[in-house]
Amino acid sequence: MARTVLTVQSALGPYPGTVGAGALAMTYATGDNTNGNSFPFTGRELILFRNTTGGAITITLTSAADPQGRTADITAYSIPATTGLAAFWAGNLVGWNQAGSFFIDYSATGLGVAVMRIVG
């Protein structure tokens, strides 16, 4: 299965100069519950989830073996219906790097996901 690649967005800051209308806006994509999602992973990403559906949706963040061969997936993490928000700071390549990508899976359709790369 080929995962749907998410567009990584960059956050402005800490000294962005003049900030025009819309310059701080972020865009949520709809998570692909059939194929899953991935994004180019640098270890500097904040993943944001927003549930505006009528039911809870679970996510799975798939880990990769660390140098000792250990894995620690985050499985079936539930994001509540209607106003559910969640965030995960993927701040280290060790344990998450899937050959240059990060993997996310969903239990249902309709979950918004945004990936912000923190630079600075």
Q: Where are the domains of the chain?
A: 4-11+37-117
Give the chain's mean pLDDT: 94
Residues 39-50: tens digit of each pLDDT: 999 999 999 999
Burial (Cβ within 10 Å: 0-12, 13-18, ≥19) of residue 92: exposed
Residues 6-28: tens digit of each pLDDT: 999 998 888 888 999 998 999 99
Contact 18/73 with Cβ under 8 angstroms? Answer: no
40 token code pair: 């180019």
- CA dihedral sign of residues 66, 86, 16, 100: positive
d(CA 9, CA 99): 20
Q: Is the pLDDT of residue 120 over 70?
A: no
Residues 95-114: tens digit of each pLDDT: 999 999 999 999 999 999 99
**CATH architecture assignment, domain 4-11+37-117:** Sandwich (2.60)
Q: Give the whole-number percent of the chain exceeding pLDDT 70.
A: 98
Contact 10/117 with Cβ under 8 angstroms? Answer: yes
